[in-house]
Each structure stands twice: as C-alpha cells, then as structure tokens.
Amino acid sequence: MIPSILPTYNRAPLSFVKGEGVWLQTGDGRRFLDLGAGIAVNALGHANPDLVDALTTQANALWHVSNLYQIPAQQKLADALVESTFADSCFFTNSGTEAMELAVKMARKYWHDRGQPERSRILTFEGAFHGRSSAAIAAVGTEKMTKGFGPLLGGFTQLGWGDHDGLRAAMAQPDVGAVLIEPVQGEGGIRPVPDQCLKGLRDICDETGTLLIFDEVQCGMGRTGKLFAHEWAGVTPDIMMVAKGIGGGFPLGAVLATEAAAAPMTAGTHGSTYGGNPLACAVGAKVMEIVSDEGFLEGVRARAGRLRQGLEGLVATHPQAFESVRGAGLMLGLKCKAAAGEVVQAGYAEEVLTVPAADNVVRLLPPLNITEAEIDEALSRLDRAAARIGSDAG
Ligand SMILES: Cc1ncc(COP(=O)(O)O)c(C=O)c1O
C-alpha cells in the first residue's frame, strides 16, 4: 500500500523535534551537529532569536495579504537587495524552482519584446540542478530527471562542464537568448566555476547580447563568503535566481534582474499568491540585514578557512574514505573514495549531519554563524565517522 506521504524521498530514519543554532535534537534527546542546514537553508542556524523575533512580530501583526496590495516588508527586502547587488528589480517567489520558472519566462519575454522571439533557447551545463518543475527538468535534461515526464519543454541545450569549444559553437546559433549557470554547482557535487570562466562567459554574452542568468539558489546569500558567489569573479548577471538561505528556513525565493531584463515583465505577465508574503519577507529582510553586513561575511570567510583546513587534515588522515576537498566558503564538498552514502551514514552514527551530492561528494553547508568551537567539534565527529569507513565499526 502506498504510504500516506508520496514516497518520492529516501528518508533517513531520523526525526528531530527541536533545533538551536547548529544543533538538532531527536525526541530521545540525541543532539546532532547539523552541517547540512536543511541543504543550505538555515543560513543563521535553527531558531535564530533575531529571526524568531522578526517572524513573531510580523505574525502578531499580519500574516498574509495578496499582492493586490502594497506589502511594506516586501518593499524593505526588495530595496535591500537592489541596494546590495547588480539588480534594479526583484520578484519574490516561495522556492528556487519558482525562481527558475520566472527566470526562463523573463529571458523569453525579453527577446519577444525586442522583436526576436526566436532567441528563446537557453544554454545550461552538465551537472546543473535548477529544481523539479517541468522547465527545470527540461533545462537539465538528464534521463534521471526527465524519464517518464515527457513531452519536455523545448528550448534548452546542455553543454559539457568546461567545454569551451562547445560553448562558443552553441553561442553562434541564432536562437540562443540566454545562458544559465550556477557559479558553484551544488547538487552536481560542489563544483565551483573558475572565476576566469565566469568572466569569459560574461564576455561572450556581451559580444552576442545574450542574457546571463546565475542560479545562486544554493551558493548565494553569504554561503561562499561574499553576499553572492559571482562577486568573487567580479562579474554580474542580467538575471539571478535566489532562494534557500534568503528565508533562513522560511520558504522564500527571488528573481533579481537588471532594468533591461526586467522591464518586459509588465503588470499581468507573472504573479504568485504567496510570493513575497509578509511573514516570509519580514524574515528575509532580517536575514538580509545580518548576512549583507561586511563584518559578518568576513567572519564567514574566517570560519570557512578553519573548516577547510580541518577537512584537508581529514583527507590526509583517512585516505580510505576521502580523496579531496573542494568548494568555496562554507559550501564545501568532500570528494569521497568510499561511497558518499556510506560516509553520510557513518556521520549519523557519530551524530553529525552531512548531505550527499553527485560525483560521489559529501556536502558540508553548515549555518554561516557556526562557531569555531562547533567547527572543531564537527571535525572530530567527522574524524570518528571516517574511522568507521572500512573498519568493523562501520
Ligand atoms: C542551484 C539550485 N537551483 C534551484 C533549486 C530548486 O530550489 P527549490 O528546491 O527551493 O525549489 C535548488 C535546490 O536544491 C538548487 O540547489
């Protein structure tokens, strides 16, 4: 008999009743150190007092009004995002996938309104992940994502990772209107795009007038030690998708865009009942206030250095388990020699939570405000977990 929850997830036999900072507690009182943070969502940890305060203050005043009306918390968050980024305008969604949907529509509408609707094709990259909607799975195009869900939305071409010749050839096609890329691939196995490649991509897009779309759903909001990951390369996109960390655990996403890219999205061309809801935006505005502070980001970079150094040590100590460390800031991946799933399981036994990714990588995406002592504790738990790999204790 089918379970009452549609069985689309392979869930661990773990359930948590309380969270505080980087810690999650089970009903029987076990305390797990959470290096997954809801897959890069709980950017400021569990039950962060500032976010609880922002949420409860808003909850006591007003939960929901439609986008038929002005929403001050939404305006505050939009102003903060515009002030701190390349963007001139924002649209709020409830998730990364919804941000993906709008990014695709925005790119197509841009070319439609310029009298070149044939430039509807969007180039994407091997290993990418942009969500699970019909557009998002078609964009990625892998059999794993798309099998059984045809006919797929057309207008996407996937390019090989690092295939510069393929990119040049594809960009020469007259129907290409946009390129979509994660500056650091998350689900694909924590693969940062080298700065010079992002710069090169910006240059080719400028030469051809092609829109550049960054998916910063996982790598954005301070995760790499800058507010947005593309800042490391010194380039900006035309459109950017954001979600996960922006709501600190409350469902929230956004599309940010330049005026040129955003202008064709006039009244009636897009909408959402819940997107930009007062509760989500009150929390989002507080997250933004904390995370966009340069002192906070400096702290993220320092903590990231400590974690990375410790992980390099683990790779040296446990060559049977790990091969290398990769990533940026507090978006780190342990490329495993053992099966990544086995490493995650060994972590459960040592009460430390990590997240598997493609390419046999285990992801570490802790809350950005994890302390130095908690990083050291995480490293000892990972050390003990790694010792289980290939031993009888595993
Ligand atoms: C880079 C990226 N884009 C889009 C998404 C989809 O976001 P959501 O699950 O909020 O719909 C994800 C989710 O993991 C992601 O990592």
The reply to whether 49-291 shares the fold of 16-34+294-388 is no
Question: Could you tell me which CATH number the domain at 49-291 has?
Answer: 3.40.640.10
3-class DSSP state of 372: helix
16-34+294-388 CATH choice from 3.60.20.10, 3.90.1150.10, 3.90.110.10, 3.30.1640.10: 3.90.1150.10
> From ligand 1's centre to the CA of 123, what distance in Å?
18
Domain ranges of the chain: 16-34+294-388, 49-291
Q: With b meaning 16 or more CB within 10 Å and e meaning fewer, what string describes 201-231?
A: bbebbeeeebbbbbbbbbbbbbbbbbbbbbb
Measured in Å, residue 243 CA sits from the centre of ligand 1 at 7
Our mutation pick for probing the ligand 1 site, out of 9, 97, 223, 355, counting the most ligand atoms within 8 A of Cβ, is: 97
**Torsions phi, psi of 275, nearest 5?**
-55, 125
Yes or no: say if 275 and 92 are a contact pair by the CB < 8 Å rule. yes
Tokens, residue 196: 């010079």
pLDDT digits (tens, 9 = 90+) for 276-316: 999 999 999 999 999 999 999 999 999 999 999 999 999 99
Where is average pLDDT lowest: 172-176, 344-348, 380-384, 386-390?
Answer: 386-390
Spatial distance between the Cα atoms of 285 and 224, rounded to a whole number of angstroms: 20
Q: Is 129 in the pocket of ligand 1 (CB under 6 A)?
A: yes
**Ligand 1 pocket residue status of 125, Cβ below 6 Å:** no
* Residue type at position 181: I
Binding residues: 96-97, 129, 132, 215-218, 272-273
Q: Report which protein residue has its CA nearest ligand 1's atom 4.
A: 130
pTM, two decimals, is: 0.98
CA of 387 to the centre of ligand 1 (A): 32
Chain segment 80-138, per-residue pLDDT in tens: 999 999 999 999 999 999 999 999 999 999 999 999 999 999 999 999 999 999 999 99
Rounded CA-CA distance 348/366 in Å is 15
Alpha carbon distance 240, 228 (integer Å): 10
